[in-house]
Each structure stands twice: as C-alpha cells, then as structure tokens.
Structure 1
Amino acid sequence: MLNSDPLWPRAGDWPAPVGDEWADVALIGMPTSRTSLSPTQAHTTPNAVREMLRRYAALTDLRIVDAGNVREPDLHEHSAIEAVAALRADLVVALGGDNAATVPTALGRWGDAVGSAGLITLDAHYDLRDGVTNGSPVRRLLEAGLDGRRVVQIGIEPLANSLAYAQRARDAGITVITRDDLRTRPMDDVMAQALEIAGSGGGPIHVDLDVDVCDRSVTPACPASVPGGISAFELRVAARLAGAHSSVSSIDLVEVDAASDSADERTVRLVALCVLEAISGAALR
C-alpha cells in the first residue's frame, strides 16, 4: 500500500469528463492487441499505467480528466474514433495497447482536418505494412488522407525494417531520422525539426510514442524493441516537448505489454513518466 502524505499529492485517479466541460488534458485507454504481429497482452497496459501513475507526484493544477478505456477498440474502431472525438480537451493522451491505437486516436482528433494534419512517430519501425495490424497505422493514415510530406519518423532502426518499406517511406515523402542520426543530434533539436515539418500544413499534430524505440534494456515489455535504441530520458524529453507544443492535439503511448514487464516494472514506469512529462509540457503552453 502506498503511503499517504498530504504534502505530496499523487498523480492519477483523475475524474471522468463531465458533459461539455473543457479540460486541459484528457486521458483515454485504447487497449488494442487483437491484431498484433507478435503475441501480446498489450490490452492490460492502460490500467497498469494508471496504477503506476499513483507512485508519482501531481505537480500541476491543470484540469485533467480520465475517460476510461474504450471497449474493444480493435473490433469497434469507429466507436473508438468517436470516443476520442467526443473528448473536449486541449491535449488527449491515449494509453495503448499496441500501435493499432494510433489510428483511432489520430483520426478522432483530426476529424475533417486530416488533409492539413501532421504526424510524428518515435518508433523503431515504419509501420507501413499492408493489412490492418499494429504494423500498418502509418500506411492507413496516409490512405485516410494524411500528406506524407508532413510525417516525420524518428528512431527508425534500418535492420528491423525491410528495404521495401524504406522505399514506401521515400515514395510517400516521409522525413526519416534514423537511430544513427540520433547519435549526433539532441532530442530537442530533432523534435523542433519534426514539429516544424508536421505542423507545416497548419493543422493538428498527432505524436505516436512507440516505446519500442527505446533500448531493450529499458523496455523489456516491448516485444519488438531491440538493443541500441534511444534512452528512457530521451523518450521523456520527446514527450514533454510534444506536450508543450500548441499544435499537438494528441499523443499516444503504445507497444507495451504490461503482462510481460520485468519484476521492477521498468517499462510501465517509463510510460507513466512519459504521461506526466506530456502533462508537464501542456502546463507550459
């Protein structure tokens, strides 16, 4: 049981949205896992993150609400899109689930503005596969009308992708910043470039934080993470910078299987901290 300290208010346990009342930040659980390319229980992660949030401090007086989990978003994607669209908040943070959560979250926030919207992914993978899986969200958003010239993919691991998907990214006009590129560039510089490109259409930006972009040593609960990824600190920096940018309307945290985390729960802890970094960023807007 966690200690109670009136001088240390805990994060989490935020109220549900009430009617049309506006919030600064709204959380929503998007427990996708049915179409995953790897066996996963990623649907367990949203609730695990909520529980973990209570271990950390609430350091902002922003109005934060939690809309709970979307029911079976893999089977009822249109309902998931509508659930996100109904949220009245400056910033929506979606708790995945696998990367299939990106599609309903982004489309729900973009609405009719998909043609001017932008997308930033921090991910080891292009996610340009055919079909409807956690490996296809970027391709599906392009097919929904997203302009590839306003897509930036950060942290791509060439050895974890095929040449065919690299060519798809080039053909779509996507800006790709590989893991090798990140060795010589700080994350704040990379995010500044990404936000400028993604926001060039004047529309809303969705930021997909696929936690398997991190090194496998810090994210054992990510089925597709590999050695040599970015650090936990770099992901936290990206989350805060995304939350602070006025054009970022939504962020997702995905590709974590809480049921397979290490005993110290380091992956779920990182996701919870990224949620709080995004909220801290929103407080700077």
Structure 2
Amino acid sequence: MALPHDPLWPRAASLFSQKSENQADVTVVGVPASQTSLSPTSAHQTPNAIRQALQRYSTAHSDPRVNLEKVSLQDAGDITSPDSDEVVAISELKSIAAKSSLVIALGGDNSITYCGVQAMQATGLITLDAHYDLRDGVSNGSPVRRLIEAGLSGKRVVQIGIADFSNSTEYAKRAKDFGITVIPRSELRSKNIEDIWAIALSVAGDKVFVDFDMDVCDRSVVPACPAAAPGGISADELRQFAFLAGSSPSVIGADITEIDASKDSADERTVRLAALVVLEMAAGFSTRP
C-alpha cells in the first residue's frame, strides 16, 4: 500500500506498538477463525486487512476529551485459531487479557465470541448483531447459546440490532426463555443511542464483553458481511456504539466479527469501518476517568 508520508499527519496504525511483555491499556489481537461458519467465508484473512486499513486514518478526534497519545496501545499479533484448538485459543487470549485493560479481538467469524467471553471471564455480554446466535451445535451461529450453557446468565445478555426477517420465531422464543434483553433494530429508530447503551450496561453488569458483529449494519456499508441485510444500522451509529463501549469502565473486551475481507468492495469500505470501530473504542477508552 503506497501512501504519502506527512510528519504532520500521523497515521493511526503508528499508535499500535508490537507485542511486548508490558502492560497495555488497549490490546488488539487477531483471532483468525472461519471453518465453522454457516456460510463459506475467508474471515480468517480479516485481522490483517483491518490492520492495513488502520493506515488510512489519522489520530485526530473531534471530542476534546480524546487523547490517544496518553493511551498505551499494543498489537499482540494473531493467536492460534480456535478452529484448530479452541482450548489453546482461550488460554492465549486469557494471557493477553491479564496484561491489558481492554482487549479488542479482530475476527474471524462470530464463533470467536465464545473464546473472548471465556478468556476474559466476562459476566455480561452485549451484542450488536442482526442475529440471536442461539443455534444448536458449534458454529458462528451458536456462541451466545454456548456461553449461556457454559454458565453465562442470560439475564446478563443484551442483544442490540436484531433484524426483522433475519431470524426465526423459535430462536426468538429461545432468547426469551434464556432471559435475554433484546433491543431490535426497529427500536433504534426512535431511541437515543446513549440511552440504549445505558440500558444495556445496566443489564450486562460490571465485567462486560461487547460483540461487534458487523452484519448488524446496513448491507451498503458492509458488503463483505455475507449475512448483512438492507436496513441495518448505519456506519455512524456503529461508531457511536464503539466509542461508548470504549468509554465504559465496565467493558473489558470486545470483538469485531463476520467480515470476509476477500469479498470486500474495491474501496474496502467494510474493513475500513472495522478499523474505525477499533479507533473509536480506543478514543472512548482515553476518556475513561
């Protein structure tokens, strides 16, 4: 990627030092999973695509509270894929989380949410997702069900952006039976994002993992997400949620999932949006008290 160099316009990628043994405020880590996906995908290629997209952005932000220079940011590289050994992947993520206040896992398909919550020992989960992810079996459609069956309380799970015509009544019933708080896409049209986030945090509790399944967005802004539908949330709404997640002290981890970088548009709009989710979370983190 040949990009111009301007010493007065530092690139966001320069903020992320390579992996070290030191404590970091925010650590990004690749989790290249794709083999259990319900739709054929090359999502394992996406972590590096997001890293490349960080080259496209600067370190500046309009919020005067934001100062990325005061946040220690680290890139831990890629861990073992949970497709090959989920137990090892969880162990490696756990080691990274022990040395970071906020871990952002770059997926990979949505199956990695199981690893993230388990590794960070989160007691609450907020998903931004068009789908419930409550299917049977082990796939990118099952992490929420697997987590609840592994001990996560459904009453500490909030699902934001669940889309009409993208789920079934049986899985809606399953969500209700588990005690999950569902905030459908339709509800976002009439409520303030900050108010919705406050509700989600009040339900999820004090050790929260946030799943940014990018197919929650409108298909026009995430063409590399196979299951995205027209009418999802906007890129700007997603970025607002990312900033709020980063700024919330109770959020200890997050993931960005369901992008197949090999299917992105020529302008790379999907991975560019994913890179902005990383930056908005880091920006939000810099405003924490």
Superposition TM-score tier, normalisation by shorter sequence: over 0.9
Equivalent-residue separation in structure 2 for 1:150 and 1:158 (angstroms)? 23
Equivalent residue runs for 1:93-242 within 5 Å: 93-110=104-121, 117-199=123-205, 202=206, 204-242=207-245
Equivalent-residue separation in structure 2 for 1:56 and 1:152 (angstroms)? 31
Show CA shifts across 1:237-284 (max 9, x none): 001100110010001000000100011111111000010000001101
Equivalent-residue separation in structure 2 for 1:153 and 1:7 (angstroms)? 41
1:90 to 2:97 alignment: no
Q: 1:68 pairs with 72, 77, 93, which one?
A: 77
Equivalent-residue separation in structure 2 for 1:235 and 1:78 (angstroms)? 31
Q: Could you tell me the TM-score, scaled by structure 1's length? A: 0.95
RMSD of aligned Cα (Å)? 1.0
Count of residues in correspondence between the two structures: 276
What residue number does 1:247 align with?
250
Q: Could you tell me the TM-score, scaled by structure 2's length? A: 0.93
2:19 and 2:77 in contact (8 A); partners too: no
Equivalent residue runs for 1:16-31 within 5 Å: 16-19=18-21, 21-31=22-32
Show CA shifts across 1:38-80 (max 9, x none): 0111111100000010111134111111111113221111111
1:16 to partner: Cα distance: 2.8
1:8 to partner: Cα distance: 1.5
1:24 to partner: Cα distance: 0.6
Q: Secondary structure at the match of 2:190?
A: coil
With 152-161 and 57-66 compared, the bigger mean Cα shift is at: 57-66
Show CA shifts across 1:136-185 (max 9, x none): 00001101110000100000013111111001100000000111111101
1:272 to 2:280 alignment: no
1:46 to 2:59 alignment: no
Equivalent-residue separation in structure 1 for 2:81 and 2:103 (angstroms)? 19
The one-letter amino acid paired with 1:144 is: A
What residue number does 2:63 align with?
none
What residue number does 2:65 align with?
none
Structure 2 residue ranges without an equivalent (≥5) = 61-67
Show CA shifts across 1:103-161 (max 9, x none): 11111111xxx5xx100000000000000000000001101110000100000013111
Equivalent-residue separation in structure 2 for 1:11 and 1:84 (angstroms)? 24
The one-letter amino acid paired with 1:82 is: S
1:57 to 2:58 alignment: yes
